[in-house]
Amino acid sequence: MNDRDYMQRAILLAQEAQAKGEVPVGAVIVFNDEIVAEGFNCPISTNDPSAHAEIVALRHAALKLQNYRLPDTTLYVTLEPCVMCAGAMIYARVKRCVFGAYDKKSGAAGSVLNIFGEKALNHRVIVESGLLSDNCSELLSAFFQSRRS
């Protein structure tokens, strides 16, 4: 599998979130070319403001790998991480973050802030942006359009 395949899986997870009435964001964590964890947004259904797709996936990966540090992992997510999720990736020592759609309202990987580029922090996450961005953006746009209707 390659980056596109992993992002396609994250898109499927985002669609699961949407089917449950959540904002459609999905995340996949890969270690040694294997998906070790997945997650999708579920803060509404769980009454948990921290239940973003990335946080859910990070929790599952830490349990599976039996380590709160996740070095040499890549986290794929359909939407640019927020401050909370970017911070969690830094603390977990995720090696690489690949995201699809940009979040011009609260993105923390370059759109509004760049937490990953903060030199005062002691870990650097490699960031790659815009993978399948049209697909990811369309999913989010359609979701919010339907909510406004």
**Catalytic residues, which ones?**
54
Residues making up the chain, counted from first to last: 149
Q: What ranges in the chain are assigned the alpha helix state H? A: 3-19, 43-46, 53-65, 83-92, 133-148
**Close Cβ partners of 7 (under 8 Å, ≥ 6 residues apart):** 28, 76, 78, 98, 100, 131, 132, 136
d(Cα 143, Cα 110) in Å, to the nearest integer?
Answer: 24
- Spatial strand order in the sheet of 96-101: 34-40, 26-31, 73-79, 96-101, 126-129
Residue showing tokens 């599998």:
1
Q: Give whole-number Cα distances, 83 to 13, 18, 116, in Å.
A: 21, 22, 9
